[in-house]
Structure 1
Amino acid sequence: MTVCLDVNGMMSEAIGDAGLSRAEVDVLTPRAAALARGLQARRAAGELPFSELPRRDDLLKQVATLADAVREEIDTLVVLGIGGSALGARTIMNALGDGEPRVLVADNIDPWTFGRLLDGLDLARSAFNVVSKSGETAETMAQFLIVRDVLLRRFGAIDYKRHIIVTTDASGGQMRQIVNDEGFRDLHVPAGVGGRFSVLSPVGLFPAAVGGVNVAELIAGAAWMDAQTQSAGVWENPAYLLGTLLYLAETKKGRNIVACMPYSDRLQQFAAWFAQLWAESLGKARDLAGNPAHTGQTPVAALGATDQHSQLQLYLEGPQDKVVILMRVEDHGREIEIPAAYADLDGVGYLGGKGLGALLNMEQRATELALQKRQRMVMTITLPQVSAFTLGQLFYLFEVATVFAGGLH
């Protein structure tokens, strides 16, 4: 049950001069090896704390204990957070949640949307997970103050506290001060783990566990991918290869846009999670040495097959400035057969007897081949199925690839 990365559509053998040659990748070998050694040294020194999350059994136990208790108390958990404090949880629940209890993510302060959300809750059977490392995020704190007031009025100064769970810094920040003063139940954001790398911490794991996701399997998938990304060789390390090819696509081929296009509704939010990870990590005015750089590819979230009918023509016929990352799921978890009818109509009859999942995968493959035929850079990531284990692999693969690409910049 492992994720597979196919980069043939990035290479000159498949798309001619528009692609990268193996020599262009190999010329980076000394630099990449030095970067890999540097990352290993930083990890050993505790300077890459996100990379230790797959081994943090203590965090997993804390999450599971609190989530088990909260699950018995509620029918709905509302996550109050924004950016990395929201995207990870939404991605996990979109892929794996079964709706019991219901987990909602309120990551914007549009009063119409937030008001309707509050109006529709049974407050007695609802809890709010406030996620802010510092307690200074204006949007999240505004939501918190509104929710706190609503709960205080309904349940009183003591009982309202059972409806709020806070995920924040362990020792500092204004949210920590509030937790200490109020006595809210809480979980810690590990020191040094930024929001966009926090999905495998209590930030993402707690809402997922409350929503019934097997978070131990999610972490096991990340740990498996961690083991696959220990090699210093670009061709042997899938995360380094992914990061290197996207870096070269930008710097050597002018591909300053990268579109992530999963052919699965359950992975739609993964594309949005990737967009934040890539944009905030690599969109920089200066390089690591402090020199002016203004680097970074612009990430675009798309969905197959939907965006074949809204974006694909641009990818095929527009400027040669894009890399497309397609995501394919072999087993969608269920199949629905298309009934045979209208056999005399060529544009309809051919569909009969096929399954929707099979049709979706045929369209993914057709898109991949069409992009290659037009000499457009494309890579494909294949999942055997969408599961906690494979999703954990994906998260960690892209996190390491992002760090490596950042080092190359």
Structure 2
Amino acid sequence: MQRILTLASGFSVDYTNMFGAERLQESDFAEYQQQLLAAHQAVQELTVTGNSTYGQQVLFTQMPEVKFGKINTPASIAKLQAYAQNMQNRVQAVVSLGVGGSYLGGRVIFESLVDEYWNGLSARERFGRPKLYFAGNSLSATALQSLLRELLRQAQAYVLKYKKRYTLTLLVTSKSGTTLECITGFMNLYTTFADYADVLNLEVAVLTQTDAQAPNPLEELAQVWGWEVFRVPTGIGGRFCVFTDPGLLIGAILGLDINSFLQGACDMALACQNADIWANPAWLNAALKYLAAQKNGKFIEVFMPYSPNLKALGEWYVQLLAESLGKKRADGTAYSRTPVVAIGSTDMHAQTQEHQEGLANKLVQFIQITHESIEVRVPEVFMQQEFFARYAGLSLNNLNKQALQANAQALASANRPSLTINLPVLDMYYLGNLMYFYMLSIAYEAELAGVNAFDQPGVEVYKQYLRAHGG
């Protein structure tokens, strides 16, 4: 029996393989009915009022709608677009500095929706949009030095060719204005590039959050130097903020349709108001994963899109899940599901042995793009040999889909659960659909598990030790 939830947009969740022997049963939903209903009620309350179960102001559900008085307003969207438009044909490169969710969201947009070799394209091929690099997400001196060398090399070559300075913009994203990796990376890049003013014109913009309770050094610096300031809104954690300035600015700089991205989130938000769990994709997704953990011990989720373009999405999802759900409950017990990133079909040659015959403590989350924008067929070459001839004329996209189906069937044959998200195409609208779907799913699952999705007390522990050692 097939079990597929399909929205009017074509976005679908195929959860057929979550049910069966040694997997979920229909009776599991009946057993947890009151808990499931309470979770839905809590998420709807959060959506309407912005008040979480734990007394916090949580405003991520306001992000998709562009409206006066909301998180995104016509004026804020116009500011982003004007800033990005001013870069076109003027700024040669942008470095996005940050770490964690507020940084990863923009990277998802970049890696999902522009050419993999974007930075190697000519300015004409990029329609005058700047090259885009990501840094400040580690304390690696080697990585930072490599980026410095590359950008200085580009600047010097640009001056020789065009007889004018190379323009570089540093986008510094830190909600607190004190994030160690981001701030130290910024200080190094800024100081070095300032010494090359003869070949390089340096600009800075910051994305940060005003906090009345604590000073924000980055914002204070921006005010002194007159840098452009964009906002990480109060009430929205970094891992939930991709539909605000940190994510939207990256999309606008690349010339992507940020309004379509927000519309995808809006449409998903509407679908997830449905009071029928079998028609509400985020509620259903959360219930399937929570019940698989509670009833069947599936405490590891392998996040496996069948597109290398979505690897950054996997990294973003790892933080979203781990930082939101790996928590102690009020009674001191812990809830945990561990996310692991894999890419199909690549990791069928690496991880699938473990998925298929290792400990039965995993579920696999596939993502499939139904209609790829590019079609490639295997050429008719080496036809004199039967082995090569059998592949001639075959579509790589169809082979990729067959690989996913074979993986799912193999897992099901061993009574191991999986579910598949189908996106009609990979564009800004469906990326918005997908990312908002996962945010709401996490909110639902946190309610089911009895944990607070919107704090991260465990992160503060290592920070205390790091500060004690001068970090």
Smaller-chain TM-score bracket? over 0.9
Matching residue within 372, 375, 380 for 1:340: 380
- What does 1:95-106 correspond to in 2, within 5 Å? 95-98=112-115, 99=118, 100=126, 101-106=130-135
Match of residue 197 from structure 1: 240
Matching residue within 281, 286, 294 for 1:251: 294
Match of residue 375 from structure 1: 415
**Aligned equivalents of 2:262, 2:325: Cα separation in 1:** 25
* Contact 1:33–1:233 (Cα < 8 Å) also in 2: no
Match of residue 455 from structure 2: none
Match of residue 51 from structure 1: 61
* Contact 2:208–2:232 (Cα < 8 Å) also in 1: yes
Match of residue 14 from structure 2: 6
1:343: how far off? 5.2
Match of residue 227 from structure 1: 270
Q: What SS does the aligned partner of 1:125 have?
A: strand
Q: What SS does the aligned partner of 1:339 have?
A: coil
* Contact 1:10–1:377 (Cα < 8 Å) also in 2: yes
CA RMSD of aligned residues (A): 1.8
* Contact 1:168–1:187 (Cα < 8 Å) also in 2: yes
1:351: how far off? 1.1
- What does 1:43-82 correspond to in 2, within 5 Å? 43-47=47-51, 48-56=58-66, 57-58=72-73, 59-82=76-99
Q: Greater shift after overlay, 102-111 or 38-47?
A: 38-47
Match of residue 165 from structure 1: 205
Q: What SS does the aligned partner of 2:278 have?
A: coil
Q: What SS does the aligned partner of 2:435 have?
A: helix
Matching residue within 100, 105, 120 for 2:150: 120
- What does 1:6-405 correspond to in 2, within 5 Å? 6-12=14-20, 16=21, 18-47=22-51, 48-56=58-66, 57-58=72-73, 59-98=76-115, 99=118, 100=126, 101-106=130-135, 107-121=137-151, 122=154, 124-155=166-197, 163-170=203-210, 172=212, 173-284=216-327, 286-287=328-329, 290-342=330-382, 345=385, 347-405=387-445
Q: What SS does the aligned partner of 1:292 have?
A: coil
1:222: how far off? 0.8
**Aligned equivalents of 2:294, 2:219: Cα separation in 1:** 43
Q: Deviations over 1:243-286 (max 9, x none)?
A: 111111111111110001111122121111111111110011x1
* Contact 1:50–1:197 (Cα < 8 Å) also in 2: yes
Q: What SS does the aligned partner of 2:178 have?
A: coil
TM-score (norm 2): 0.81
Identity of aligned residues (%): 28
* Contact 2:42–2:447 (Cα < 8 Å) also in 1: no
**Aligned equivalents of 2:193, 2:380: Cα separation in 1:** 55
1:39: how far off? 2.1
Aligned partner of 2:389: which letter?
G
1:73: how far off? 2.7
Q: 5+ residue gaps in structure 1?
A: none
* Contact 1:2–1:390 (Cα < 8 Å) also in 2: no
**Aligned equivalents of 1:271, 1:82: Cα separation in 2:** 15
1:355: how far off? 1.2
* Contact 1:263–1:328 (Cα < 8 Å) also in 2: yes
**Aligned equivalents of 2:102, 2:420: Cα separation in 1:** 28
**Aligned equivalents of 2:192, 2:374: Cα separation in 1:** 42
**Aligned equivalents of 2:429, 2:441: Cα separation in 1:** 19
**Aligned equivalents of 2:111, 2:226: Cα separation in 1:** 31
Query: Where is the helix percentage greater, Structure 1 or Structure 2?
Result: 1
Q: Deviations over 1:320-367 (max 9, x none)?
A: 010000111111211111123455655433211101111111111111
**Aligned equivalents of 2:171, 2:30: Cα separation in 1:** 47
**Aligned equivalents of 1:108, 1:133: Cα separation in 2:** 17
Q: What SS does the aligned partner of 2:13 have?
A: strand
Q: Greater shift after overlay, 192-201 or 395-404?
A: 192-201
**Aligned equivalents of 2:110, 2:403: Cα separation in 1:** 26
Q: What SS does the aligned partner of 1:55 have?
A: coil
Aligned partner of 1:243: which letter?
A
1:30: how far off? 2.1
* Contact 1:257–1:322 (Cα < 8 Å) also in 2: yes
Q: Deviations over 1:137-176 (max 9, x none)?
A: 11101011112212433349xx96x611100014552222
Q: What SS does the aligned partner of 1:154 have?
A: coil
**Aligned equivalents of 1:105, 1:388: Cα separation in 2:** 20
* Contact 2:205–2:228 (Cα < 8 Å) also in 1: yes
Aligned partner of 2:294: which letter?
T
TM-score (norm 1): 0.93
Aligned partner of 1:354: which letter?
L
Q: 5+ residue gaps in structure 2?
A: 1-8, 52-57, 67-71, 119-125, 156-165, 450-471
Aligned partner of 2:101: which letter?
G
Question: How many residues were matched structurally?
Answer: 399
